[in-house]
């Protein structure tokens, strides 16, 4: 048992040294906590599986009734004629970006930068 404890301490020291040498980030070190492993596995499973639409926000006005899943953002519209929730029809086609021109292109030069040799 003591050998296992010493191995765990050595591993922790090596991981901390990797963060100090900036080989890894602090977030990487924080993500290595085994106490949170079950919660992280649950969140990963939830993120990679299909949404169950557990939390729904409903709204309505004089133009119709609407609902939206707060987890995945999917939307529905209430159809009075069929008495069902349906996905809304796309109202507009996505607009394309304008072609690049000299007026819309950005420059990569930093006008505020002056080399150290020219600073006084």
Which pTM does this prediction carry? 0.39
CA distances from 9 to 5, 6, 32, 86, 105 (A): 6, 5, 14, 56, 54
**Model confidence at 6: pLDDT above 60:** yes
Q: What is the pLDDT of residues 56-72, one digit of tens each?
A: 899 988 878 899 988 88
Q: Where are the domains of the chain?
A: 2-48, 56-86
Across the range 71-79, mean pLDDT stands at 87
Q: What is the pLDDT of residue 67?
A: 92
Across the range 91-105, mean pLDDT stands at 71
The secondary element (H helix, E strand) that includes residue 29 is helix 26-30
Closest CA to 16 of 6, 7, 26: 26
Confidence band, pLDDT 50/70/90 cuts, at residue 53:
confident
């Amino acid at each position: 048992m003591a050998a296992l404890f010493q191995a765990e301490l050595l591993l922790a020291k090596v991981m901390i040294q990797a963060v100090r040498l900036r080989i890894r980030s602090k977030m990487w070190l924080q993500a290595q906590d085994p106490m949170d492993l079950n919660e992280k596995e649950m969140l990963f499973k939830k993120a990679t599986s299909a949404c169950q639409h557990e939390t729904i926000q409903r709204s309505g006005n004089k133009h119709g009734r609407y609902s939206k899943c707060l987890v995945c953002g999917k939307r529905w519209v209430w159809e009075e004629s069929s008495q069902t929730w349906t996905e809304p029809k796309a109202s507009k086609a996505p607009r394309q970006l304008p072609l690049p021109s000299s007026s819309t292109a950005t420059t990569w030069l930093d006008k505020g930068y002056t080399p150290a040799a020219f600073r006084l």
